[in-house]
């Protein structure tokens, strides 16, 4: 990261400091945001290319954006509240995401063809529900911090009426609260006037990781009348083994200490004796891994790489985590290892998103083609 040092007279410094204080940000963060807004304005004026426009909500580090840009889209708005994710996003896309979505006026969001949102999954994930239950805390829509954020997506859809949208979440969303949560989500989207296509897909067909996620694709009934020809992609590639994403040289700091390795083995043995399946995941290098989670930074136990006789297993490096999610090696990692593990664990399988995005665009294009040809064919 580069630094710029500038001199300001006292009056300008005070005015900027006061504005930063009003927004609850530091002076440095305020100036960075202002510079990024200038870049964003410039990009919107000079880069109008793109087959379609889209917005990226709950953007994380931009995994969804990569997939939609790959099939010709132009991102016109981004929202992500986590400051570390914002830093990674800015470094890779040149855009500083807007912050808290609950404070964003939908009217101020640019018009767009496709809305993309990987709204927070912790309230619905198996791990998230278990943890909140153990703490006596609410989950799902009763989780005031995250569960109701779906309705912010809904209010933006209602205001901006994108032609289509893609929502992504954990597989458990469908069965959470005996299916009531998912029923509310679907009914809300249908009442807004969208036909829905729902599928559960595993990232293992695109990367060497077992990662099941639910996808909800919606098309505006006012535009397509429910006649869109969308279909989820059928995997055609043979799954790659996890050894294909491993680095040839890895720092010893990623090797588990004797203390941690002994603890993980004892923990697994204890639960096995009690008939539970909890324990570390030592990877078969010819196969695929378990699901990478945001907690990977804690001990790496769900995905451990064997290193041969006499050496403890190791964690994946952040770059290997990026590869496991299908990010290109050109993607910049500009945060600490702990934050990088969280970011990639919370992200998406980029090639799977690309495949879904491609089918969404094909359906949009096909409908327009049929609409043009239909009058000609009836002559």
What digits encode the pLDDT tens for the residues 356-377?
999 999 999 987 776 655 544 4
The per-residue pLDDT for range 65-103, each reduced to its tens digit, is: 999 999 999 999 999 999 999 999 999 999 999 988 989
Are 7 and 147 contained in the same domain?
no
| 166 and 301 within one domain | no
40 and 62 housed in the same domain:
no
Q: How confident is the model at residue 131 (pLDDT cuts 50, 70, 90)?
A: very low
**Cβ atoms of residues 68 and 114 within 8 Å:** yes
The whole-angstrom separation of Cα 203 and Cα 210 is: 6
Under DSSP, the state recorded for 233 is P
Is pLDDT of 46 > 60? no
Alpha-carbon gap, residue 79 to 97, rounded angstroms: 5
Query: Are 262 and 213 in a shared domain?
Result: no
Indicate if 75 belongs to the active site: no
The answer on 208 and 268 residing in a single domain is: no
77: three-class secondary structure by DSSP: strand
Number of folded domains that form the chain: 3
pLDDT digits (tens, 9 = 90+) for 211-242: 999 999 999 999 999 999 999 999 877 889 99
What is the DSSP secondary-structure string of 23-67? HT--HHHHHHHHHHHHHHHHHHHH----SEEEEEES-TTSHHHHH
How many distinct helices (H) and strands (E) make up the chain? 13, 6
Write out the residue range of the structural domain in which residue 13 sits.
1-48
Is pLDDT above 70 for 36?
A: no
CATH of the domain at 29: 1.10.1220
Q: What is the CATH number of the domain that holds 146?
A: 3.40.50.150
Question: Are the C-beta atoms of residues 59 and 82 closer than 8 Å to each other?
Answer: no
Structure tokens at 376: 């000609």
Per-residue confidence (pLDDT) for residue 12, from 0 to 100: 67
Q: Residue 298's pLDDT is what?
A: 92
Give yes or no: residues 131 and 164 share one domain.
yes
Q: Could you tell me if 72 and 150 lie in one domain?
A: yes
Selected catalytic residue, list 75, 121, 186, 321: 121
pLDDT digits (tens, 9 = 90+) for 285-339: 999 999 999 999 999 999 999 998 889 999 999 999 999 999 999 999 999 999 9
Percent of the chain whose pLDDT exceeds 70: 79
pTM value is: 0.83
At 240-256, the pLDDT tens digits run 999 999 999 999 999 99
In the prediction, which pLDDT does 134 show?
47
Do residues 201 and 110 both lie within one domain?
A: yes
CATH number of the domain bearing residue 292: 3.90.120.10
142 and 124 share one domain: yes
Same domain, 135 and 228: yes
**Does 154 share its domain with 230?**
yes
Tokens of 361: 């665009």
Encoded tokens for 220: 């505006």
pLDDT at 24: 65
pLDDT at 75: 97
Confidence of residue 47 (pLDDT cuts 50, 70, 90): very low
Same domain, 64 and 115: yes
């Amino acid at each position: 990261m580069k630094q710029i040092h500038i001199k300001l007279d006292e009056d300008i410094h005070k005015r900027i400091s006061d504005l930063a204080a009003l927004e609850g940000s530091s002076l440095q963060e305020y100036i960075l945001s202002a510079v990024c807004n200038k870049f964003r304005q410039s990009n919107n004026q000079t880069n109008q290319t793109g087959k379609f426009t889209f917005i990226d909500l709950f953007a994380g580090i931009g995994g969804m954006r990569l997939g939609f840009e790959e099939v010709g889209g132009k991102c016109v708005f981004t929202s992500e509240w986590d400051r570390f994710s914002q830093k990674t996003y800015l470094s890779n896309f040149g855009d500083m995401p807007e912050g808290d979505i609950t404070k964003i006026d939908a009217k101020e969001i640019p018009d767009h063809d496709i809305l993309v949102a990987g709204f927070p999954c912790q309230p619905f994930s198996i791990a998230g529900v278990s943890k909140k239950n153990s703490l006596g805390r609410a989950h799902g829509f009763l989780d005031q911090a995250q569960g109701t954020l779906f309705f912010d997506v809904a209010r933006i859809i209602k205001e901006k009426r994108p032609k289509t949208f893609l929502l992504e979440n954990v597989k458990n969303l469908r069965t959470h609260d005996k299916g009531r949560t998912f029923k509310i989500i679907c009914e809300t989207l249908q009442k807004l006037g969208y036909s829905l296509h729902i599928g559960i897909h595993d990232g293992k067909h695109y990367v060497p990781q077992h990662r099941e996620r639910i996808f909800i694709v919606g098309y505006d009934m006012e535009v397509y009348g429910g006649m869109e020809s969308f279909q989820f992609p059928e995997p055609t590639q043979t799954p790659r083994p996890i050894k294909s994403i491993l680095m040839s040289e890895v720092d010893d700091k990623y090797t588990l200490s004797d203390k941690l390795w002994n603890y993980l083995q004892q923990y697994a043995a204890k639960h096995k004796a009690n008939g539970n399946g909890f324990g570390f995941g030592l990877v078969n290098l010819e196969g695929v891994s378990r699901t990478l989670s945001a907690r990977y930074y804690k001990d790496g136990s769900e995905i451990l790489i064997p290193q041969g006789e006499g050496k403890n297993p190791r964690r994946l490096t952040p770059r290997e985590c990026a590869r496991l999610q299908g990010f290109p090696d050109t993607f910049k990692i500009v945060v600490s290892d702990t934050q990088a593990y969280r970011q990639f664990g919370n992200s998406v399988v980029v090639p799977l998103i690309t495949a879904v995005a491609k089918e969404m665009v094909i359906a949009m294009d096909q409908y327009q083609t049929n609409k043009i040809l239909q009058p000609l064919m009836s002559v």
